[in-house]
Amino acid sequence: MSVTSSDSPAASELAASPPRRRRKLQAWEWAPYVFISPFFILFLVFGLFPLLFSMWLAFQTWDPSTGLQGMEWVGIENFKFVLEDDWFQKSLYNTFWIAIVSGLPQHLVAIPLAYFAHTYLRKHRNAVVGVYFLPFITSTVAIALVWNSLFSRDFGVINMALTSIGNFSIAGLHPLAWLFPTTNVDWAQPQYTKWMISSLVFWRYVGWNTVLYLSALQTIPRDLYEAATIDGASSRQQFWHITVPLLRPMMFFAVTLTIIGNLQLFEEPFIITGGTGGINQAGKTAAMHMYNTAFVDSDFGTASAVAWILFVIIGLMTWANNKFFAQKD
Protein backbone atom coordinates (compact mmCIF):
# COMPACT_ATOMS: atom_id res chain seq x y z
CA MET A 1 0.00 0.00 0.00
CA SER A 2 1.63 3.16 -1.16
CA VAL A 3 -0.05 5.43 1.34
CA THR A 4 1.49 3.65 4.33
CA SER A 5 3.74 5.91 6.35
CA SER A 6 7.15 4.31 6.14
CA ASP A 7 8.51 5.27 9.50
CA SER A 8 12.25 5.12 9.26
CA PRO A 9 13.61 6.65 12.43
CA ALA A 10 17.14 5.62 11.55
CA ALA A 11 17.26 7.85 8.51
CA SER A 12 15.91 10.87 10.26
CA GLU A 13 18.28 10.48 13.19
CA LEU A 14 21.28 10.20 10.91
CA ALA A 15 20.41 13.49 9.28
CA ALA A 16 19.60 15.06 12.60
CA SER A 17 22.20 17.78 12.62
CA PRO A 18 19.61 20.57 12.95
CA PRO A 19 17.41 20.01 16.03
CA ARG A 20 14.07 18.49 15.21
CA ARG A 21 11.52 21.28 15.29
CA ARG A 22 8.46 19.35 14.33
CA ARG A 23 7.35 15.93 15.27
CA LYS A 24 6.79 13.61 12.35
CA LEU A 25 3.19 13.55 11.13
CA GLN A 26 1.43 10.28 11.68
CA ALA A 27 -0.23 8.59 8.72
CA TRP A 28 -3.72 9.10 10.13
CA GLU A 29 -3.05 12.82 10.34
CA TRP A 30 -2.19 13.40 6.71
CA ALA A 31 -4.09 10.52 5.11
CA PRO A 32 -7.54 12.24 5.17
CA TYR A 33 -6.16 15.17 3.22
CA VAL A 34 -4.85 12.80 0.57
CA PHE A 35 -8.20 10.98 0.49
CA ILE A 36 -10.22 14.12 -0.14
CA SER A 37 -7.73 15.71 -2.52
CA PRO A 38 -9.13 14.27 -5.80
CA PHE A 39 -12.32 16.26 -5.37
CA PHE A 40 -10.51 19.48 -4.66
CA ILE A 41 -8.00 19.06 -7.47
CA LEU A 42 -10.82 18.42 -9.94
CA PHE A 43 -12.83 21.26 -8.48
CA LEU A 44 -9.98 23.75 -8.78
CA VAL A 45 -9.27 22.84 -12.40
CA PHE A 46 -12.77 22.16 -13.72
CA GLY A 47 -14.89 24.06 -11.20
CA LEU A 48 -13.44 27.09 -9.47
CA PHE A 49 -11.23 28.27 -12.29
CA PRO A 50 -14.03 28.07 -14.90
CA LEU A 51 -16.35 29.82 -12.50
CA LEU A 52 -14.01 32.77 -12.02
CA PHE A 53 -13.21 32.82 -15.72
CA SER A 54 -16.88 32.95 -16.62
CA MET A 55 -17.43 35.77 -14.15
CA TRP A 56 -14.63 37.71 -15.78
CA LEU A 57 -15.94 36.87 -19.23
CA ALA A 58 -19.30 38.41 -18.38
CA PHE A 59 -17.60 41.81 -18.42
CA GLN A 60 -15.91 41.28 -21.78
CA THR A 61 -16.99 41.36 -25.34
CA TRP A 62 -15.44 38.45 -27.16
CA ASP A 63 -15.80 36.31 -30.22
CA PRO A 64 -13.68 33.25 -29.46
CA SER A 65 -12.56 32.94 -33.08
CA THR A 66 -10.44 36.08 -32.58
CA GLY A 67 -8.34 34.44 -29.87
CA LEU A 68 -7.70 35.80 -26.39
CA GLN A 69 -6.46 39.11 -27.76
CA GLY A 70 -9.91 39.80 -29.18
CA MET A 71 -11.27 40.25 -25.67
CA GLU A 72 -12.36 43.71 -24.71
CA TRP A 73 -13.50 45.00 -21.33
CA VAL A 74 -17.00 46.46 -21.54
CA GLY A 75 -17.95 46.69 -17.87
CA ILE A 76 -21.60 46.02 -17.16
CA GLU A 77 -22.65 46.56 -20.79
CA ASN A 78 -23.36 42.84 -21.25
CA PHE A 79 -25.66 42.80 -18.25
CA LYS A 80 -27.45 45.93 -19.41
CA PHE A 81 -27.84 44.49 -22.88
CA VAL A 82 -29.20 41.17 -21.62
CA LEU A 83 -31.67 42.74 -19.20
CA GLU A 84 -33.05 45.01 -21.92
CA ASP A 85 -33.04 42.29 -24.56
CA ASP A 86 -36.56 41.33 -25.66
CA TRP A 87 -35.48 37.79 -26.49
CA PHE A 88 -34.01 37.26 -23.04
CA GLN A 89 -37.16 38.61 -21.40
CA LYS A 90 -39.26 36.36 -23.55
CA SER A 91 -37.13 33.31 -22.70
CA LEU A 92 -37.40 34.21 -19.02
CA TYR A 93 -41.16 34.49 -19.33
CA ASN A 94 -41.26 31.07 -21.04
CA THR A 95 -39.05 29.61 -18.31
CA PHE A 96 -41.31 30.81 -15.52
CA TRP A 97 -44.44 29.79 -17.42
CA ILE A 98 -43.18 26.24 -17.88
CA ALA A 99 -41.72 26.13 -14.36
CA ILE A 100 -45.09 26.95 -12.79
CA VAL A 101 -47.37 24.98 -15.11
CA SER A 102 -45.21 21.86 -14.84
CA GLY A 103 -43.95 22.39 -11.29
CA LEU A 104 -47.04 23.13 -9.24
CA PRO A 105 -49.05 20.07 -10.37
CA GLN A 106 -46.02 17.87 -9.66
CA HIS A 107 -46.40 18.57 -5.96
CA LEU A 108 -50.19 18.68 -5.94
CA VAL A 109 -50.19 15.16 -7.37
CA ALA A 110 -47.10 13.79 -5.63
CA ILE A 111 -48.22 14.56 -2.07
CA PRO A 112 -51.62 12.75 -2.20
CA LEU A 113 -50.06 9.97 -4.23
CA ALA A 114 -47.28 9.44 -1.71
CA TYR A 115 -49.85 9.60 1.09
CA PHE A 116 -52.02 7.03 -0.64
CA ALA A 117 -49.08 4.74 -1.37
CA HIS A 118 -47.86 5.06 2.20
CA THR A 119 -51.21 4.54 3.87
CA TYR A 120 -53.10 2.10 1.67
CA LEU A 121 -50.60 0.23 -0.47
CA ARG A 122 -48.66 -2.43 1.31
CA LYS A 123 -47.40 -5.25 -0.88
CA HIS A 124 -47.54 -3.30 -4.12
CA ARG A 125 -46.09 -0.05 -2.91
CA ASN A 126 -42.71 -0.47 -4.56
CA ALA A 127 -44.22 -1.58 -7.84
CA VAL A 128 -46.63 1.36 -7.98
CA VAL A 129 -44.03 3.91 -6.96
CA GLY A 130 -41.61 2.32 -9.41
CA VAL A 131 -44.04 2.83 -12.28
CA TYR A 132 -44.35 6.53 -11.46
CA PHE A 133 -40.62 6.81 -10.96
CA LEU A 134 -39.59 5.13 -14.20
CA PRO A 135 -39.80 8.32 -16.33
CA PHE A 136 -37.26 9.96 -14.04
CA ILE A 137 -34.46 7.55 -14.90
CA THR A 138 -34.98 7.41 -18.64
CA SER A 139 -33.11 9.44 -21.21
CA THR A 140 -34.70 12.86 -21.67
CA VAL A 141 -33.63 12.99 -25.29
CA ALA A 142 -35.12 9.61 -26.14
CA ILE A 143 -38.40 10.36 -24.44
CA ALA A 144 -38.64 13.93 -25.74
CA LEU A 145 -38.38 12.51 -29.25
CA VAL A 146 -41.19 10.09 -28.42
CA TRP A 147 -43.15 13.09 -27.09
CA ASN A 148 -42.85 14.75 -30.45
CA SER A 149 -44.44 11.76 -32.12
CA LEU A 150 -47.20 11.46 -29.49
CA PHE A 151 -48.09 15.15 -29.97
CA SER A 152 -47.71 15.10 -33.73
CA ARG A 153 -50.54 16.97 -35.45
CA ASP A 154 -51.56 14.37 -37.98
CA PHE A 155 -51.03 11.05 -36.27
CA GLY A 156 -50.28 11.86 -32.62
CA VAL A 157 -51.85 9.59 -30.04
CA ILE A 158 -52.53 12.58 -27.77
CA ASN A 159 -54.50 14.31 -30.50
CA MET A 160 -56.39 11.12 -31.20
CA ALA A 161 -57.35 10.77 -27.53
CA LEU A 162 -58.32 14.43 -27.11
CA THR A 163 -60.43 14.67 -30.25
CA SER A 164 -62.20 11.42 -29.52
CA ILE A 165 -63.27 12.88 -26.17
CA GLY A 166 -64.20 16.15 -27.87
CA ASN A 167 -66.27 14.40 -30.51
CA PHE A 168 -67.87 12.01 -28.06
CA SER A 169 -71.57 12.17 -28.76
CA ILE A 170 -74.77 11.12 -27.03
CA ALA A 171 -77.89 11.36 -29.16
CA GLY A 172 -76.22 13.77 -31.56
CA LEU A 173 -75.01 16.07 -28.78
CA HIS A 174 -71.30 16.68 -28.05
CA PRO A 175 -71.29 17.33 -24.31
CA LEU A 176 -67.50 17.75 -24.02
CA ALA A 177 -66.85 19.72 -27.19
CA TRP A 178 -66.58 22.99 -25.30
CA LEU A 179 -63.61 21.71 -23.26
CA PHE A 180 -61.83 19.33 -25.61
CA PRO A 181 -60.66 19.95 -29.17
CA THR A 182 -62.78 18.47 -31.94
CA THR A 183 -60.03 18.69 -34.53
CA ASN A 184 -56.35 17.88 -34.17
CA VAL A 185 -54.24 20.49 -32.37
CA ASP A 186 -50.97 21.61 -33.93
CA TRP A 187 -48.83 21.55 -30.82
CA ALA A 188 -45.96 23.28 -32.59
CA GLN A 189 -47.99 26.49 -32.69
CA PRO A 190 -46.70 29.12 -30.24
CA GLN A 191 -49.75 29.06 -27.99
CA TYR A 192 -49.41 25.29 -27.43
CA THR A 193 -45.66 24.57 -27.40
CA LYS A 194 -45.25 25.38 -23.73
CA TRP A 195 -48.08 23.04 -22.79
CA MET A 196 -46.32 20.25 -24.61
CA ILE A 197 -43.01 20.91 -22.87
CA SER A 198 -44.71 21.26 -19.49
CA SER A 199 -46.49 17.95 -19.88
CA LEU A 200 -43.15 16.23 -20.48
CA VAL A 201 -41.56 17.91 -17.48
CA PHE A 202 -44.51 17.00 -15.28
CA TRP A 203 -44.46 13.40 -16.47
CA ARG A 204 -40.72 13.10 -15.85
CA TYR A 205 -40.58 14.50 -12.32
CA VAL A 206 -43.87 13.66 -10.61
CA GLY A 207 -42.53 10.25 -9.56
CA TRP A 208 -39.33 11.72 -8.22
CA ASN A 209 -41.34 14.05 -5.98
CA THR A 210 -43.53 11.16 -4.91
CA VAL A 211 -40.44 9.26 -3.78
CA LEU A 212 -39.23 12.29 -1.82
CA TYR A 213 -42.58 12.69 -0.05
CA LEU A 214 -42.84 8.97 0.56
CA SER A 215 -39.48 8.96 2.27
CA ALA A 216 -40.63 11.83 4.49
CA LEU A 217 -43.90 10.09 5.33
CA GLN A 218 -41.98 7.06 6.51
CA THR A 219 -40.34 9.16 9.21
CA ILE A 220 -43.68 10.29 10.74
CA PRO A 221 -44.30 8.19 13.85
CA ARG A 222 -47.36 5.92 13.63
CA ASP A 223 -48.43 6.75 17.21
CA LEU A 224 -49.46 10.22 16.07
CA TYR A 225 -52.08 8.71 13.80
CA GLU A 226 -53.13 6.16 16.42
CA ALA A 227 -53.59 8.91 19.01
CA ALA A 228 -55.58 10.96 16.51
CA THR A 229 -57.79 7.98 15.69
CA ILE A 230 -58.50 7.47 19.38
CA ASP A 231 -59.39 11.15 19.65
CA GLY A 232 -61.88 10.61 16.84
CA ALA A 233 -60.12 12.43 14.03
CA SER A 234 -61.27 11.43 10.56
CA SER A 235 -58.68 10.39 8.03
CA ARG A 236 -59.20 13.68 6.21
CA GLN A 237 -58.53 15.59 9.43
CA GLN A 238 -55.44 13.44 10.04
CA PHE A 239 -54.15 14.26 6.58
CA TRP A 240 -54.58 18.01 7.03
CA HIS A 241 -53.53 18.28 10.66
CA ILE A 242 -50.79 15.68 10.96
CA THR A 243 -49.45 14.71 7.57
CA VAL A 244 -49.33 18.09 5.84
CA PRO A 245 -47.68 20.01 8.72
CA LEU A 246 -45.08 17.28 9.24
CA LEU A 247 -44.37 17.20 5.52
CA ARG A 248 -43.45 20.88 5.50
CA PRO A 249 -39.67 20.39 5.70
CA MET A 250 -39.82 17.96 2.79
CA MET A 251 -42.11 20.29 0.86
CA PHE A 252 -39.51 22.97 1.30
CA PHE A 253 -36.76 20.66 0.09
CA ALA A 254 -38.73 19.25 -2.84
CA VAL A 255 -40.06 22.64 -3.96
CA THR A 256 -36.53 24.04 -3.78
CA LEU A 257 -35.30 21.25 -6.05
CA THR A 258 -38.18 21.90 -8.45
CA ILE A 259 -37.45 25.63 -8.58
CA ILE A 260 -33.75 25.09 -9.16
CA GLY A 261 -34.38 22.41 -11.77
CA ASN A 262 -37.23 24.08 -13.62
CA LEU A 263 -35.50 27.42 -13.94
CA GLN A 264 -32.63 25.63 -15.66
CA LEU A 265 -34.75 23.63 -18.09
CA PHE A 266 -32.76 22.91 -21.19
CA GLU A 267 -32.98 19.43 -22.66
CA GLU A 268 -36.77 19.08 -22.82
CA PRO A 269 -37.44 22.36 -24.69
CA PHE A 270 -34.27 21.89 -26.74
CA ILE A 271 -35.34 18.52 -28.13
CA ILE A 272 -39.05 19.30 -28.46
CA THR A 273 -38.36 22.44 -30.45
CA GLY A 274 -35.52 20.84 -32.41
CA GLY A 275 -33.00 23.24 -30.88
CA THR A 276 -34.70 26.27 -32.44
CA GLY A 277 -36.92 27.41 -29.59
CA GLY A 278 -40.00 26.74 -31.67
CA ILE A 279 -42.17 29.04 -33.78
CA ASN A 280 -41.76 32.61 -32.54
CA GLN A 281 -39.37 31.28 -29.83
CA ALA A 282 -42.40 30.23 -27.81
CA GLY A 283 -40.58 27.28 -26.25
CA LYS A 284 -37.17 28.82 -25.71
CA THR A 285 -36.05 28.83 -22.08
CA ALA A 286 -33.43 31.05 -20.49
CA ALA A 287 -30.85 28.25 -20.38
CA MET A 288 -31.48 27.65 -24.10
CA HIS A 289 -31.06 31.36 -24.71
CA MET A 290 -27.68 31.16 -23.00
CA TYR A 291 -26.66 28.15 -25.08
CA ASN A 292 -27.68 29.84 -28.33
CA THR A 293 -25.94 33.09 -27.47
CA ALA A 294 -22.70 31.23 -26.75
CA PHE A 295 -22.64 28.42 -29.27
CA VAL A 296 -24.76 29.70 -32.15
CA ASP A 297 -24.02 33.43 -32.02
CA SER A 298 -20.47 32.91 -30.65
CA ASP A 299 -21.02 35.72 -28.17
CA PHE A 300 -19.39 34.29 -25.06
CA GLY A 301 -19.35 37.49 -23.04
CA THR A 302 -23.09 38.08 -23.33
CA ALA A 303 -23.78 34.40 -22.75
CA SER A 304 -21.79 34.49 -19.52
CA ALA A 305 -23.81 37.49 -18.41
CA VAL A 306 -27.00 35.52 -19.15
CA ALA A 307 -25.68 32.63 -17.06
CA TRP A 308 -24.95 34.86 -14.07
CA ILE A 309 -28.25 36.71 -14.30
CA LEU A 310 -30.05 33.39 -14.37
CA PHE A 311 -27.95 32.24 -11.43
CA VAL A 312 -29.03 35.33 -9.43
CA ILE A 313 -32.68 34.73 -10.35
CA ILE A 314 -32.48 31.12 -9.19
CA GLY A 315 -30.84 32.30 -5.98
CA LEU A 316 -33.61 34.87 -5.39
CA MET A 317 -36.36 32.33 -6.04
CA THR A 318 -34.74 29.86 -3.69
CA TRP A 319 -34.45 32.56 -1.07
CA ALA A 320 -38.10 33.57 -1.52
CA ASN A 321 -39.14 29.94 -1.19
CA ASN A 322 -37.10 29.72 1.98
CA LYS A 323 -38.90 32.78 3.39
CA PHE A 324 -42.28 31.39 2.41
CA PHE A 325 -41.74 28.11 4.20
CA ALA A 326 -40.00 29.64 7.18
CA GLN A 327 -42.57 32.32 8.05
CA LYS A 328 -45.15 30.04 9.62
CA ASP A 329 -42.74 28.22 11.90
Partner 1 sequence: MAAVRKRVSPSRWLAYVIVALGGVIMLAPFWFMFVFATHTNTEILSVPPPLWFGTAFIENVRLLIEKLPFFWRNLGLSFFIAFSVTVLNLFFCSLAGYAFAMYHFKFRESLFAVIMATMMLPAFIFMIPTVLIMSAIGWMNEAKALIVPGACGAFGIFMMRQFIGTAIPKELVEAARIDGCSEFGIFWRIVLPLVTPALGSLGLITFIGTWNNFAGPLVIMRDMDMFTVPLALRALQGTGQVPWGAISAGSAIAVLPLMVLFVIASRRLIEGLTSGAVKG
Please report how close the Cβ of residue 309 comes to partner 1 at its closest, in angstroms.
Answer: 11
Cα–Cα distance between 262 and 99 in angstroms, integer? 5
Closest CB to partner 1 among residues 73, 311: 311
Closest CB to partner 1 among residues 178, 272: 272
Taking the CB of residue 34, how many other CB atoms lie within 10 A of it? 10
Residues contacting 140, CB < 8 A, separation 6+: 204, 267, 268, 271
Closest CB to partner 1 among residues 16, 244: 244
Taking the CB of residue 233, how many other CB atoms lie within 10 A of it? 16
Is there a contact between 79 and 302 (Cβ–Cβ < 8 Å)? Answer: no
Q: Is 203 helix (H, G, I), strand (E, B) or coil?
A: helix
Q: What are phi and psi of 61, to 5 degrees?
A: -110, 130
Please report how close the Cβ of residue 90 comes to partner 1 at its closest, in angstroms.
Answer: 18
Question: What would you report as the CA-atom Rg of the chain, rounded to the nearest whole angstrom?
Answer: 28
Q: Which conformational region is residue 283 in: left (phi greater than 0), alpha (psi within -120 to 50 degrees), or beta?
A: alpha
Q: How would you class 198 by CB atoms within 10 Å of its CB: exposed for 0-12, middle for 13-18, buried for 19 or more?
A: buried
Cα–Cα distance between 311 and 104 in angstroms, integer? 21
Please report how close the Cβ of residue 276 comes to partner 1 at its closest, in angstroms.
Answer: 10
Closest CB to partner 1 among residues 92, 307: 307
Is there a contact between 155 and 185 (Cβ–Cβ < 8 Å)? Answer: no
Please report how close the Cβ of residue 168 comes to partner 1 at its closest, in angstroms.
Answer: 15
Closest CB to partner 1 among residues 79, 132: 132
Closest CB to partner 1 among residues 189, 276: 276
Closest CB to partner 1 among residues 71, 282: 71
Cα–Cα distance between 165 and 169 in angstroms, integer? 9
Cα–Cα distance between 54 and 56 in angstroms, integer? 5
